[in-house]
Amino acid sequence: MEFSTLTTSSLHQSKTAALAVGIFKDGVLSPAADTIDQASEGAIRAVLKSEFTGKAGSHLVLRNLSGVRAERIILVGLGDQKKYQATGHASAEAVFARYCVDARVTEAVSSLASIDCPGTTLAARARAFAVAMGNAVYHYDATLSKKADHPAPRLKKVSTWVARGDAPDARTGLDQGKAVASGMALCRLLGDLPGNVCTPAYLGQTAKDLAGEFKTLKAEVLGQKQIEALGMGSFLSVAAGSMEPPAFIVLRHTPASAGSGGKKASTPAGQAPIVLVGKGLTFDSGGISLKPAKGMDEMKYDMCGAASVLGTMRAVAELDLDREVIGVVASCENMPGQRANKPGDVVTSMSGQTIEVLNTDAEGRLVLCDALTYVERFKPAAVIDIATLTGACVVALGHVNTGLFSSDDTLATQLLDASREANDPTWRLPIDDAYQKQLKSRFADIANIGGPSAGAITAACFLSRFTDAYPWAHLDIAGTAWTTGSNKGASGRPVPLLMQYLIDQSGQANS
C-alpha cells in the first residue's frame, strides 16, 4: 500500500473515494470538517442536529456533497475535545481504516492527523494513521482453499492531509508507521499460521528470507547439533519430546551507513547492540503436564514472542534504523513424547545452573534462559525478551496491558515511555528479590515454578537469574499477543512498542 501526504489548502477540491474529517462531541468541528462544511453549504452541521453526536468510535457517511469532489465524506467521532489524546486519535484512525476496508475503496484521505492532540506530535499522529491503515488491510488466507470467497481488501493508496509546512514531519511518521505495519503484518501471519505449518524450521526460513530481502540483515540458524555444542541443556530438554527439530535463530541488523563510508547519524561508532529475544514455542501442549483440551488450539500462538522479534527486525531493516539490533529466537515444540521432560527432572542450563522441572508446562522460561545466556557474547547495551509466558499475567492485567518486568529502572522507563508514544500499553510489575525464595529447590539450583502465588513475577524472577551481564527487561505478552473468540487472531503486539523504543534509541529519533 502506498502512503503519501496531501497538503492542498483546498481540501474540498481533493478527489478521493473517502475523506475522513473529525467531529468532537456536542458538534464541535475540526478545521478540516469546517472547511468541508463551508464548501457544502452547511451539509455537515445539518446532520449534526439529528444524526451524529461525535461520540468516540462512531462514524457517519455523507455521499456526493455539493461543492465537494470526494465521493464520500466520513464523519469520525472524536468524543470530548477536552479529553482528546493520542489514544483517541489512534482509535479514530482505526475507525476510518475499518470503514475503508469494509467499503472496499481503493484509495482514501484522512485529515485526522492535522488535529492538534495534547501529548503527541504530528509525526506520531501520521505514524498512527499508517499503522491503523496497515492493520486494517491485514488479510489471512494462507490455509484457505477457496481464497476467492475471502477477497483481500482493495485499499492501495492512502494519504494524510496536513498543512504544507508540516509535510516533512508527516512523511517521517508515515515512513515509520508503514514499517511498523509491515512488521505487525509479518508477526500476525506467523502467529495465525497453524503449528503444522509454522514450525521451528519455518521460523528459521523466515529469518533467512528476511536476510535475502534486506541487505542490512544477516541470518544464522543453528540446528540440534550446534545447540548441543553450546550446552543449551535447558532449551533442548523442552524440545526432546517432539519430532520437530529445534532451531536457534540469530538475525542481525547492521545499518547500511556503518559499512558504506557514508555519513552516519548521531549513533556513536561502536555503540553496543540492542538485543531482542523471542520465545518461539510453535506449539505448546504443556508436555507431560498436559494442558486442558479446551482452547489448546490457541497454543499455536505460543511463538508470538518470536513472531514479534521477526516482525520488529523486518521493520528495523525497512527503515534501515541507524542502530545495530540483533534478534534471537529459541524455537521448538513442547510435546509429551517418549523423551519429554518429566516433573522432577533436573536439567543443566547453558549458564551451568541446574533447574528442577516441577511443571513441564512452565517451559518458556527453560527455553529463554539459555537464549539469555547466549546473548552475553554480544556485550549488549540492553536485552529485551518477549514471551507469551504466563497465564498469571493475563489474570493480573487482562488483555489490555503487556506486563513489563525489569531490574533496570532506566530501561523500564524507556519502554514505558515508548509504549505510551506507540499506543501499545504496558504496565510495570515488581520483581523484588523477596519473590526469589519461591523458586528454591532441594535438588537443583533453582525450580522452574514458584507456586500459585505471583506466577508472572516468579517467572520473571527465574529469567532474571540469567541476566546479570547486561540491562534487561522482560515483556509478558500472554494477554496481548492474540485475541480469542470469533475474531481469533494474532494482534501484532508488541511490535509498535519495540519499534518506538528502538527509534528512540537510534539516531533517527528526531529525524
Cα–Cα distance between 77 and 24 in angstroms, integer? 6
What is the gyration radius of the CA atoms in the chain, in angstroms? 24
Comparing CA positions, the residue from 268, 262, 228 lying closest to residue 248 is: 228
Comparing CA positions, the residue from 224, 104, 186 lying closest to residue 153 is: 104
Q: Give the containing element (helix H, strand E) for 95.
A: helix 86-103
Q: Is 82 a catalytic residue?
A: no
Q: Is 252 a catalytic residue?
A: no
Whose cell is 527432572? That residue is 345
Catalytic residue among 45, 291, 342, 428: 291
By the 8 A CB rule, do 177 and 127 touch? Answer: yes
Cα–Cα distance between 286 and 355 in angstroms, integer? 17
Cα–Cα distance between 441 and 297 in angstroms, integer? 33
Which class for 87: exposed (0-12), middle (13-18), buried (19 or more C-beta within 10 A)? middle
By the 8 A CB rule, do 301 and 481 touch? Answer: yes
Give the start-end residues of each E strand in 70-194: 72-79, 107-110, 157-161
Strand partners, 108: 158
Catalytic residue among 178, 365, 465, 493: 365
Q: C-alpha angle 41/43/44, rounded to 5°?
A: 125
For residue 331, report the phi and psi dihedrals to the nearest 5 degrees.
-125, 135
Whose cell is 474529517? That residue is 21
- In eight-state DSSP terms, residue 9 is S
Cα–Cα distance between 357 and 362 in angstroms, integer? 8
Residues acting as catalytic residues: 291, 365
